[in-house]
Amino acid sequence: MQDNFNQQIENLKINLIKMASLVDEQAEKAFTALETGNVELCRGIKAKELEVNIYDNLIQTQCENILALFQPVAVDLRFIISVMMINNQLERCGDIAVNIAQRVKKTNEHHSLIAETQILEMGKQAREMLKNAIDSFINNNIDLANKVIDSDESVDKFNKQIFKALVLKMQNETQLIEPCAHLIVLTRHIERLADHATNIAENLVFYVNARIIAHKKKFEKWGVSDQTID
């Protein structure tokens, strides 16, 4: 019984890692295309989406079966819950990689504009966050997860700065309105990707430390606790 359960948990983890590597590959291609302007790299990204979606459904089914058949508790239950959440966040990351690739294609002729803003730095950071979030889950590495969570603020800052810079650009050079609009959407996608990476890391912390740390900074800022409503 216990062996069977362990086997199911192991299979689930393997599938999540396979899915994560597909998403990681999508992100890698999208960000390299952004950096190098090599739009050829964007080609395979959309095709991977189907495979990612198959894993998404498979993992959800596996989680449902384990919950129904084994009724896990404590650390095992937290593992299943975090896998369900991470599964969802990875699938979103895959979608965002597709979106980024689309915007890269649309703004390819304006590579100098990209270079002028901090989009590449922001992209690098978000890319690193996703990679580290996945690694932290594979290796149960809480320190790495915390590093991901800490990085989110700086990506948000980049997002605001780039937005301002692009608005200014549009005001001064009206012929650049269209590419600038695409780039605003692009930075928004990058910011969302970083958010999902942060959520993945938060779910690892939930699994390992049994603590829900999502929204912690906001709660601190507002001086409230998540224990307020019980």
Residues contributing to the site for another protein (CB under 8 A): 1-2, 5, 71-78, 210
- SS in 3 state form for the chain? CHHHHHHHHHHHHHHHHHHHHHHHHHHHHHHHHHHHCCHHHHHHHHHHHHHHHHHHHHHHHHHHHHHHHHCCCHHHHHHHHHHHHHHHHHHHHHHHHHHHHHHHHHCHHHHHHHHHCCHHHHHHHHHHHHHHHHHHHHCCCHHHHHHHHHHHHHHHHHHHHHHHHHHHHHHHCHHHHHHHHHHHHHHHHHHHHHHHHHHHHHHHHHHHHCCCCCCHHHHHHHCCCCCCCC
Q: Shortest distance, CB of residue 48 to another protein, whole angstroms?
A: 36
**Which is closer to another protein, CB of 185 or CB of 213?**
213
Q: Shortest distance, CB of residue 73 to another protein, whole angstroms?
A: 5
Q: Shortest distance, CB of residue 59 to another protein, whole angstroms?
A: 21
Q: Shortest distance, CB of residue 58 to another protein, whole angstroms?
A: 24
Q: Shortest distance, CB of residue 182 to another protein, whole angstroms?
A: 46
**Which is closer to another protein, CB of 75 or CB of 115?**
75
**Which is closer to another protein, CB of 95 or CB of 202?**
202
**Which is closer to another protein, CB of 3 or CB of 40?**
3
**Which is closer to another protein, CB of 37 or CB of 72?**
72
